[in-house]
Each structure stands twice: as C-alpha cells, then as structure tokens.
Amino acid sequence: MSDSVRMPGWVERAKHVHWSMYPLVLLLAIVASLVVPNFAAPDNLRNIIEQSGVLAVLTAAEVLVLLTGRFDLSLESIVGFAPMAAAVLVTKAAIPSSLGIPIAIIVGALVGFVNGFLIVKVHLQPFIATLGMLTLLRGAMMIISSGKAVYNTGDLDGMMWFGQTRIAGVLAATWLAIAIVVLLAILTTRHRFGRALYAIGGNESASRAAGIPVDRTLWLVYIVAGALAGAAGLMLSGRLNSIPLSQGDGMIFDVFAAAVIGGVALTGGKGSIYGAVSGVLLLGIVSNLLTLANVSSYWVQATRGAIILIAMIIASVAEVRRRRGVVTRDTTPSIRTGNGVSSSTNIRESA
C-alpha cells in the first residue's frame, strides 16, 4: 500500500478523536485539589504520572490491536512473564543483567508472534487465543520461577534501571512511557501502517480489496503489542525492584476501561493513542484521590469497577448510535443520472 493512498473520510476523522476527555481530566484534577489539599502537591502530581506510565504503555499496546477490531487479553500476563523469563535467564546463564531488557522485550514479541499465528493462520477467535495464552503464561511464570517471586539483590540492577533511575527528577520509566506514547501516536496518524489499522478496523473486506496486506498487518500488530507489554513489564518490575508472581494481574480491565473512556471503539476503526492516555490519567487521578481521602481499599476497587462498567455501557450505547447513523446514511435514496451512474440525493432537496 502506497503512502499516497488517500483513506476514506471516516478514517481521517477517526484518527483525530484525541482531546475530548482532557477538559474533564483537568476539571477532575481541579476539583480534587480543592477537596484534598495534598493532591496538588508537586510530589503527588509526579507520583500520579509515574504510576500511570506502565498503564499508559500497556493501554497504547492494546489500542493498536483494538483499532483493527481485535483485542489481546494476554498483555497483562506478558507484563509478568516477560521480565520473569528474562530475570531467570540472566541469573541462571550468568549474563549481564542489562541484557535482560532486550530479552524481556523479545519474549513479549515472541508471545505476540504466537498470538498472531493462532489468530491469522489458525483462525482462532482473538478471545479464545489470547485468553488461552493468558492462562498459559500465568502457569509458565509459576513453573520457571518455581513458584517464588524474584527480588533484586544487586544481580538484576541492569534490568531494573528504568524504575530505579531518575532523569531531571522523573523516573526513566516515565520518560520511556512518554516517548512510546508520542511515537505510537505519530505512527498511527502519519504512517501507512497506522492508517491500515484504522482501515482494517473500519471495513476489513474493503481494506483487502484496496490492496492492504490485512493478514500481515494483523500479525505484526500482535507482535508489536507483545513487545510493548514486555517493556511495560520491565517498567513495573523496576519500580517494584522485584517481580512478584501477581505482576500484571487484573491490569487488562484498567486497560480496556482507559481505552473506552478515551474514545477507542472496541469494534475497531475509531479512537487514538492520545485519547486513550486521557483515560489512563482519569483512572490515575481517581485512584490517587480516593487514596489521599483515606477511602478504604475495598471502595477504591469498587469505584474502579464502577468506572469500568460505566465506560463499557457508554461505549455500547455509542456503538449502537454509530451503527444506526451508518444505516441511515446507507439507506439514502439514490437516483440514476443521465450517464447511468447512480448518485445519492437529499430527500429535502429533491422535494
């Protein structure tokens, strides 16, 4: 597919749904600073951003898949398995711990490769393939670690660098998250690969007819998502300075909530990386606000669950309205022009 190929108007519009949630995020932050004085403290604001970095990268990875009309449930397990596999290999093979960084990313990419193969070549449903992989990786994580968490006693300093090093007062992991988000935003809006994701999610049959390599693109997007999940796992392990067996558990729910809040359609073809990040920030602010207000952890969990449920309901309603709009436009009366070409005419104008 050539860079000069112009995508349909709806593809171009879908890519620019970026900023609608940011005023709400700002309003929530202002209200939070008034309700809880410590919320606006520089250290607390930095803490929110640093804690949101891992979720932002993982959500961005999921958005790439969602844009094609698919999804990947196994990303949360890659967050735990990839750094665990890298740590075990580093310690047992006695190799430099800094090599654990590329190893974890490669492990994540390999998992994505298998997911892509199962979905593209074996034709398994994404739900079945990635749910099975999620469960498989959780078991594999227990096996390779002998059921024990891995703690950094100095032998894994290289792997933990992103979560232990500060640049200009901010964790290196946060700078990495910002760089990944910006690069993916540019990729999805300026590069033919990103335009292909929107086209596939909007109309896969038309994309094939237009010459877009659909199968290759789908396979590649799972590989990229897996690699990004591996990077997110490194960031989280670095912040914890360890790799607990539960690392990544339940993150996929926050990922979907952030994506939906940010305007990403679960059915594909609509949304943006920047929009999804607004959902990440909103979830981060809510969790931080409830924690500072000394709300019970049970209520924090229940509130996050309510946000996820509301987000899914809003997404469902929006999708029904969108489909009705498509049907309405598709059923506009047509007339034949003198040269035999069918063209749509507006009922009001024809009247």
In this prediction, residue 326 carries a pLDDT of 56
The answer on pLDDT for 47 being more than 60 is yes
pLDDT digits (tens, 9 = 90+) for 281-309: 999 999 898 888 888 877 877 887 887 78
Pick the residue with more confidence: 298 or 268?
268
pLDDT digits (tens, 9 = 90+) for 331-350: 444 444 444 444 443 433 33
In our burial notation (b when 16+ CB lie closer than 10 A, e otherwise), range 74-88 reads bbbbbbbbbbbbbbb
In this prediction, residue 347 carries a pLDDT of 34
Mean pLDDT, to the nearest integer, of 225-240?
A: 96
CA diameter of the chain: 81
What is the C-alpha to C-alpha distance for residues 232 and 104, in angstroms, rounded to an integer? Answer: 10
Please tell us whether the domain made up of 9-326 is placed in CATH 1.10.1740: no
The H or E element that residue 114 is part of is: helix 100-116
Pick the residue with more confidence: 216 or 16?
216
Pick the residue with more confidence: 297 or 279?
279
